[in-house]
Amino acid sequence: MIGLTRLAFLMLYRDRAKYLALVGGLAFCTFLIAQQAGVFCGVMLLTTSTLRNVGATIWVADSRTEQINSPVPMRDIEVNRVRSLPGVAWAVPVFLGVLPAKLPDGSVQNLQIVGVDAGSFVGAPKVMVEGDIQSLLLPEAVIMDQVALEKFASRGVQLRIGSRFEINDQEASVVGFCHTKRIFSGFPHAFTTYERALQWVPPQRKLLSFILVQPKPGESEETLVARINQLSGLEAFTTNGFRLETMRWFFRNTGIPVAFSVVVLIGAVFGLWVTGQAFFLFVHDNLRHLASMAAMGATQGRLAVMVMFQAFFAGAVGYGIGLGLTAGFGFLVLPAEVPAFYLPWQLPVTVGLLVAVICFFAGGLGVWKLRTAEPAMVFK
Amino acid sequence: MTAAAAIRCTGLSKSYGSGETSVLALRGVDLEAYTGEMLIISGPSGCGKTTLLSIACGTLRPDAGRIELFGQDLGGLGPDELAALRRKDVGFIFQQFNLVPTFRARENVAVPLIIAGMNYGKALRKADEMLATLGLADRTRHFPAQLSGGQQQRVAISRALVHQPRLIICDEPTSSLDAAAGHAAMQILRDSALAKDRCVVVVTHDPRVFGFADRVVTMEDGRITQVKSQVASKDGPTPEHTP
Ligand SMILES: Nc1ncnc2c1ncn2[C@@H]1O[C@H](COP(=O)(O)OP(=O)(O)O)[C@@H](O)[C@H]1O
Ligand SMILES: [Mg+2]
């Protein structure tokens, strides 16, 4: 059988035009699907970046809050109510909101403000590049992220420690720099204390975005979430629950998933069509030779294995090239983080399975064609 | 010399299609072919030669009648058993050579060995030896398109002989060759293919090569009309004798 497989390989590989059409079609289809799905996963990841930038075990929100990027504000008093619930080790407020920063040239840049509890610094930047978090206690202090550096620089403002600008017409002074995960809106981050953030916003009755909660040791996250939901009238989420809830919101309320699904579907249908056709043609053109082999004593089963091998060989090579191109694309865009790109291991596996299905159908089509390769036809 | 029957067919009939378009290709054919002989089946185009040959070597089933190949009745065999039998006992030479264009000469010749399960490298070495025997030692790595018609035919003959089958089946082996190359191909068949324990059956409607055969069977409209035994000329028919 190994020998026949080698012959099958030669038959395919040396048929350059058809081999390239097959491999090219599969590579293109793999690249199209994996790359688009990767960008989609990247975008979906952006929608929940705040979960990682702020970081908390349990998030408590107003019950009308649907996703992390648009909190419905609560009254400050809710923090104390949650803090007093059984099983809560600590609970701190966090403010999340978008405020305009005015640059020296008069232009405006929206900032994602994160106001963290000044006592615990829960929610403060995870990766400091320059300066330290304690400096947030200084008057007018903000810590800016790499996106801010970039955006300000593009307007001719080189941010450094000590740089000053206005946030919502009030003075801010840069005390440090951090690195954050980019967020869906693309706005730069400005971290400050909860109290200072509230001074920057126009006064309102409710300004509390989320309450970040840590369960007591031994208390399970799920139980505590359920208890907070029951006792406070607010809505609590585990980090993972909130992530799924947010992604679900984007699925229900934006065209993003549909747009990407269409491209993926086109890729799959195109792949199936081109590959199926090219492979059918390949088997058709070699039918006479396959029939000769049948006359010379190769069983239909063995010929079927040869044809299937050819389909899957082309599939493996095409998939490899397509995935290589996808990885190349990833390495190209990842440093800039635009467009967003994320390739969880499930993605190549899924695309691989899809390619396998395509090859199975193409090969099956070939085997179906093979059925007509009567050994007696070789005498015709 | 008591030659064993390689092929023994009795009462073969075969029709193609059904209803009004049905064609009766064989109408009761009895035929025997023996080891050590070269048998030519001749007759006008469409008389059923190819059909008879296909049935006789186990690639096509008759509607009625009985075939024995080296004493074994093919009637009760399934497709895979028939394949196994052909793999071992039959060498094929097809009308258009049927060489795989993407295989080198040696790879084409090695096909029957590889089908029989021989190790790939060993099969190629055997193929090289076989090609050398037929004077193609310096053409083993050529693709069919790089060879002349006569050379391609020799590759095809090598492929039919390489696994030492007891029966060689040739359908119109000379029809795609010019007269000289056709004569040469028949000469090779007579010299290299024919052996004491081997039977060579050649279908042809080319009377110029009849002289190579030990017996010439003539068919007409699905029936055998004449069987002529003759003393085969060792070097084939001389040009003067050809009609
Ligand atoms: N697969 C087929 N389907 C229908 N008719 C066929 C088929 N093969 C052969 N025939 C018919 O059967 C008859 C005998 O054909 P064949 O054995 O090929 O003759 P020959 O080889 O002597 O030219 C012819 O009339 C031919 O048209
Ligand atoms: Mg014929």
> Cβ contacts (< 8 Å) between A10 and chain B: which residues?
102-103, 107
Render pLDDT for B84-94 as a digit per residue (tens, 0 to 9). Answer: 999 999 999 98
Task: Please give the average per-residue pLDDT across A364-379, as a whole number.
Answer: 82
- Nearest neighbour of B102 by CB, restricted to A2, A11, A296: A11
Task: Please give the average per-residue pLDDT across A7-24, as a whole number.
Answer: 95
User: How far is the C-alpha of A326 from the C-alpha of A333, rounded, in Å?
Assistant: 11
Decide: helix, strand or coil at residue B153: helix
* Ligand at shortest distance from the CA of B48: 1
Partner-chain contact B86 A296, CB within 8 Å:
yes
- Nearest neighbour of B95 by CB, restricted to A11, A294, A379: A379
Record the pTM. 0.83
User: How far is the C-alpha of B86 from the C-alpha of A291, rounded, in Å?
Assistant: 13
User: How many angstroms separate the alpha carbon of residue B14 from the centre of ligand 1?
Assistant: 10
Structure tokens belonging to residue B145? 């398109």
Strands (DSSP E) found in chain A: 58-61, 88-102, 108-116, 127-130, 141-145, 164-167, 170-179, 189-193, 210-215, 235-238
CB burial class (10 A; 0-12, 13-18, 19+) of residue A124?
A: buried
Residue B50 Cβ inside 6 Å of ligand 1? The answer reads yes
Partner-chain contact A11 B86, CB within 8 Å:
no
Say whether the ipTM exceeds 0.85.
yes
Render pLDDT for A202-257 as a digit per residue (tens, 0 to 9). Answer: 888 888 999 999 999 999 999 999 999 999 999 999 999 999 999 999 999 988 88
Does the residue B3 lie in any domain? no
User: How far is the C-alpha of A380 from the C-alpha of B2, rounded, in Å?
Assistant: 35
- Taking the CA of residue B172 as reference, the ligand 1 atom at the shortest distance is 21
Does the residue B237 lie in any domain? yes
Residue A314 near residue A20 (C-beta atoms within 8 A): no
A292 touching B (Cβ < 8 Å): yes
Phi and psi, residue A80, nearest 5°: -65, -40
Residues of A (252-291) whose Cβ lies below 8 Å from B? 286, 288-289
| Nearest CA-CA distance, residue A316 and chain B, Å | 21
* Ligand at shortest distance from the CA of B94: 2
**Which residue has tokens 């803090």?**
A83
Does the residue B77 lie in any domain? no
User: How many angstroms separate the alpha carbon of residue B31 from the centre of ligand 2?
Assistant: 17
Residue B179 Cβ inside 6 Å of ligand 1? The answer reads no
What's the structural domain count of chain B? Answer: 1
Partner-chain contact B111 A375, CB within 8 Å:
no
Does the residue B32 lie in any domain? no
Q: Could you list the residue range(s) of the whole structural domain that residue B178 is in?
A: 38-60+86-241
Residue A191 near residue A99 (C-beta atoms within 8 A): no
Chain B residue with minimal CA distance to A11? B102
- Going residue by residue through chain B (243 aa), what tens digit of pLDDT does each one get? 456 899 999 999 999 988 888 999 999 999 999 999 999 999 999 999 999 999 999 999 999 999 999 999 999 899 999 999 999 999 999 888 899 999 999 999 999 999 999 999 999 999 999 999 999 999 999 999 999 999 999 999 999 999 999 999 999 998 888 888 889 999 999 988 888 899 999 999 888 899 999 999 999 999 999 999 988 776 666 544 444
Does the residue B21 lie in any domain? no
Phi and psi, residue B230, nearest 5°: -155, 165
Residue B48 Cβ inside 6 Å of ligand 1? The answer reads yes
| Consecutive H or E run containing B168 | strand B167-171
Does the residue B115 lie in any domain? yes
Structure tokens belonging to residue A123? 């929610």
- Taking the CA of residue B203 as reference, the ligand 1 atom at the shortest distance is 21
Q: So where are chain A's domains?
A: 2-46+256-379, 75-233
Residue B77 near residue A299 (C-beta atoms within 8 A): no
Q: What is the DSSP string of A295-351?
A: HTT--HHHHHHHHHHHHHHHHHHHHHHHHHHHHHHHHHHTTTT-S-----THHHHHH
Residue whose CA is closest, atom 6 of ligand 1? B16
> In the predicted model, what is the mean pLDDT of chain A?
92
Q: Indicate whether A337 pLDDT > 80.
A: no
CATH number assigned to the domain comprising residue B208: 3.40.50.300
Task: Please give the average per-residue pLDDT across A69-96, as a whole number.
Answer: 94
Polymer length in residues for chain B? 243
Does the residue B20 lie in any domain? no
A17 touching B (Cβ < 8 Å): no
